[in-house]
Amino acid sequence: MVIDLIVKQEIDGYSAFVPSIKNCEAWADNEEKAIEKVLDIVEFYLRIPKEKILVDKARKEVNETVYKLVFDKR
């Protein structure tokens, strides 16, 4: 399964969210921490260990980076 993770650079840090999972969003002072926090939420909602989720950078725009989360839901 593949879902999007979007990280936006804000004035005071970074916000990260997964559009396909309701309320799956986080904020941190740097991009790596924001991604880590969102992965904790994904792990909770989907019951998939973070270690089994591949985070692949898909594209970067001006203030936004799109990642693909790749995992096997079985």
- The CATH number that applies at residue 6 is 3.30.160
**C-beta separation of 21 from 45 below 8 A:** yes
> Quick one: 33 exposed, middle or buried, by C-beta within 10 A (0-12, 13-18, 19+)?
middle
- Tell me the β-bridge partners of 8: 15, 64
pLDDT score of 68: 98
How do residues 1-37 score in pLDDT, each as one tens digit?
999 999 999 999 999 999 999 999 999 999 999 999 9
Nearest to 57 by CA among 35, 26, 25, 38: 35
pLDDT score of 6: 98
Domain of 45?
A: 2-70
The total number of structural domains that make up the chain: 1
pLDDT score of 73: 75
How do residues 43-58 score in pLDDT, each as one tens digit?
999 999 999 999 999 9
**C-beta separation of 56 from 1 below 8 A:** no
**C-beta separation of 26 from 19 below 8 A:** no
